């Protein structure tokens, strides 16, 4: 879609819980669109829920987005021409806008108590009609009350807008009741603060999750009533569903927690690649996309409408592909935070070629390398097995301690033993690592100091 003037997009995460996976995917789509159009990407913190905001959650939003290298051009920490970018610091602005709507008759004070509203709702239910506020406080406000909220007077009619994913959208605003824009504590609702800020911050395209699709007509009516220019277009992106197809919940699904992907050893560029494909279909068989390739290929027309199920297997595959494409040095560097503290740099570097071909995640390296610092519990082997371990020791003793020489020596030992590779190697692996998951045996040997490796075999034999 060709756009005149500077493209300005934004994300508006709420710091009311740990940063959500959806924030990463929404950010990615915003950044891709901004970069495609030489536009500006704004980070606005939606922190008007005073009871649930926590500064540590805000910090986690920055940390997660930095980890993903999805950098913003304007934001609370960076400033910009439309600061402040934290909604809690913009409350006076919302109050001014509410005052204007009140003065022009587009909003009114509502003194109804929660109990009265609940009674209205129940009545509607009993009469089997969709609930809409009765407008009691517009037509016949109760006297002698001082606590009030501010309600927008919904003009009704049809609200239409362009959605870059879904095409032309139409909503019947006659179904929408007058809704609250300022709560009795003086704080704006999301429904009010969001369009006011989008207008003041000159946001041209609102790209956000599908759960906000039904909010758009509310917000557009407010923009119109305030006499602001509407954003050019919206894009409502498919919801990310849990692997089981249910709604992604922070409580039930670990995949909802964005920073967990870092801690489990996913590469940020692999996660972005995966997230791009989760809601968007490139139309070709290509599955691995660098950020630049995404920037060139991405378009909203190829974004799917239905919710997208999270798929660990696919993510692991993509992550493994990215791991295999790293240079040995780069992989060693990235593994540093994950490997057991006793594995020194030199050993890690020697392990990298073997790790590279089998790691789905960086964190998995721990399982492969843990035996270097954890002495396996000795186990009892039968006499025949013990004899084969002895044979291995004899062949290993004279060799230069590096994978190829070790492999050659072990193959000779196998030939002499007359048993299969598997039968010969399994007890050796057990004696050496005490684990089922291990690097190829010659690597497992070579990474341990020779005396230590032979000591473990002696003990087992
Ligand atoms: N705080 C809202 C959210 O995180 C922002 C929605 C929007 O982009 O308007 O879902």
For residues 286-314, one letter each, b for 16 or more C-beta atoms within 10 angstroms of the residue's C-beta and e for the rest, the string is eeebebeebeebbebeebeeebbbbeeee
Q: Is 194 in the pocket of ligand 1 (CB under 6 A)?
A: yes
**Residues 41 and 97 reside in one and the same domain:** no
The answer, yes or no, to whether residue 241 has pLDDT greater than 70, is yes
Instruction: Please name the residue whose Cα sits nearest to atom 6 of ligand 1.
Output: 12
Does residue 293 register a pLDDT over 80?
yes
Nearest-CA residue for ligand 1 atom 4 is: 13
Q: Is 250 labeled as catalytic in the residue annotation?
A: yes
* pLDDT recorded at residue 329: 97
Checking if the pLDDT of 140 tops 60, the result is yes
46 within ligand 1 shell (Cβ under 6 A):
yes
Point out which residues pair with 8 in neighbouring strands. Answer: 40
Does 97 share its domain with 29? Answer: no
* Boundary residue ending a domain (135, 151, 182): 182
Atom of ligand 1 nearest to the CA of 23: 4
Which of 29, 46, 197 to mutate to test ligand 1, by most ligand atoms within 8 A of the CB atom?
46
Residue with the bigger pLDDT between 262 and 343: it is 262
pTM of the model: 0.93
Ligand 1 atom 5: residue of nearest CA: 12
**pLDDT score, position 4:** 62
Sign, Cα dihedral of 200, 206, 208, 214: positive
How far is residue 222's CA from residue 181's CA, in Å, rounded to a whole number?
10
Of 4-8, 169-173, 266-270, the least confident? 4-8
Residue closest via CA to ligand 1's atom 3 equals 13
Same domain, 198 and 62: yes
Tokens of 131: 């609930």
| Contact 12 CB / ligand 1 (< 6 Å) | yes
Distance from C-alpha of 194 to C-alpha of 86, rounded to nearest angstrom: 12
Which atom of ligand 1 lies nearest, measured to the CA of 11?
Answer: 8
Ligand 1 in reach of 13 Cβ (< 6 A): yes
Cβ 189 under 6 angstroms from ligand 1: no
Q: What would the pLDDT profile of 294-345 be if each residue is shown by its tens digit? A: 999 999 999 999 999 999 999 999 999 999 999 999 999 999 999 977 789 9
368 is a domain residue: no
Residue 270 lies in a domain: yes
- 117 in any annotated domain: yes
In this predicted structure, the answer to whether residue 3 has a pLDDT above a threshold of 80 is no
> Each residue of 335-370: b (16+ CB within 10 Å) or e?
beebbeeebeeebbebbbebbbeebbbbbbbeebbb
- Are residues 202 and 64 part of one domain? yes
**Do 105 and 160 lie in a common domain?**
yes
364 lines ligand 1 (CB under 6 A): no
Same domain, 178 and 197: no
- 254 band by pLDDT with thresholds 50, 70 and 90: confident
Please tell me what DSSP assigns to residue 104.
T
Q: What is the CATH number of the domain that holds 175?
A: 3.90.800.10
Residues 198 and 69 in one domain: yes
| Mean predicted confidence (pLDDT) in 221-250 | 95
- pLDDT for 458: 95
Q: Among 250, 252, 336, 421, which one carries the catalytic annotation?
A: 250
339 closest CA partner among 316, 367, 320: 367
- Ligand 1 center from residue 433 Cα (angstroms): 49
Mutate to test the pocket of ligand 1, among 19, 64, 194, 205 (most ligand atoms within 8 A of CB): 194
Do 147 and 212 reside in the same domain of the chain? no
Residue 298: CATH number of its domain: 1.10.1160.10
Range of the domain at 389: 375-460
Give the ligand 1 atom nearest the CA of 219.
9
> What band does 436 get if pLDDT is binned at 50, 70 and 90?
confident
In the chain, how many domains are there?
4
3-class DSSP assignment, residue 448: coil
Ligand 1 pocket test, pick from 8, 12, 58 with the greatest ligand atom count within 8 Å of Cβ, gives: 12
- Residue 82 forms part of a structural domain: no
Among the atoms of ligand 1, which is closest to the Cα of residue 198?
9
Average pLDDT, the chain: 95
Nearest to 156 by CA among 180, 178, 124: 178
The encoded tokens of residue 201 equal 């911050």
Do residues 236 and 176 both lie within one domain?
no
């Amino acid at each position: 879609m060709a756009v005149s003037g500077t493209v300005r997009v934004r994300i508006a995460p709420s710091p009311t819980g740990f940063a959500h996976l959806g924030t990463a995917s929404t950010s990615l789509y915003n950044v891709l669109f901004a970069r495609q159009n030489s536009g500006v990407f704004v980070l606005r913190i939606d922190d008007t829920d005073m009871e649930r905001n926590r500064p540590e959650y805000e910090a986690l939003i920055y940390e997660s987005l930095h980890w993903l290298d999805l950098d913003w051009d304007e934001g609370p920490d960076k400033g910009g021409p439309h600061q402040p970018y934290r909604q809690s610091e913009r409350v006076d602005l919302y109050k001014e806008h509410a005052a204007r709507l009140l003065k022009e008759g587009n909003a009114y004070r509502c003194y109804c108590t929660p109990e009265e509203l609940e009674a209205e709702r129940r009545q509607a239910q009993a009469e089997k009609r969709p609930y809409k506020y009765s407008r009691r406080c517009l037509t016949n406000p109760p006297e002698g009350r001082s606590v009030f909220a501010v309600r927008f007077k919904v003009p009704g009619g049809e609200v239409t807008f362009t959605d870059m994913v879904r095409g032309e959208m139409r909503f019947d605003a006659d179904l929408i009741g007058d809704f609250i824009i300022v709560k009795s504590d003086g704080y704006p609702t999301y429904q009010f603060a969001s369009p006011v800020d989008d207008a003041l911050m000159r946001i041209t395209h609102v790209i956000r999750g599908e759960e906000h699709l039904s909010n758009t007509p509310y917000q557009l009516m407010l923009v119109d009533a305030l006499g602001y220019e509407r954003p050019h277009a919206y894009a409502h992106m498919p919801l990310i569903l849990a692997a089981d197809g249910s709604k992604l919940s922070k409580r039930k699904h670990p995949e909802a927690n964005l920073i967990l992907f870092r801690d489990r050893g996913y590469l940020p560029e692999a996660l972005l690649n995966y997230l791009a494909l989760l809601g968007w279909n490139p139309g070709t068989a290509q599955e691995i996309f660098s950020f630049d390739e995404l920037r060139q290929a991405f378009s909203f027309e190829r974004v799917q409408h239905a919710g997208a199920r999270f798929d660990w297997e696919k993510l692991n595959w993509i992550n493994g592909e990215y791991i295999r494409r790293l240079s040995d040095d780069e992989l060693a560097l990235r593994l540093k935070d994950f490997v057991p503290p006793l594995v020194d740099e030199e050993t890690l570097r020697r392990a990298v070629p073997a790790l590279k071909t089998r790691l789905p995640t960086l964190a998995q390296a721990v399982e492969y390398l843990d035996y270097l610092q954890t002495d396996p519990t000795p186990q009892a082997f039968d006499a025949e097995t013990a004899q084969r371990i002895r044979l291995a020791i004899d062949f290993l003793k004279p060799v230069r301690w590096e994978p190829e020489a070790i492999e050659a020596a072990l193959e000779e030992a196998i030939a002499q033993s007359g048993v299969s590779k598997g039968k010969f190697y399994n007890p050796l692996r057990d004696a050496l690592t005490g684990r089922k998951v291990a690097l190829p045996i010659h690597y497992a040997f070579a990474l341990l100091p020779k005396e230590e490796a032979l000591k473990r075999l002696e003990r087992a034999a």
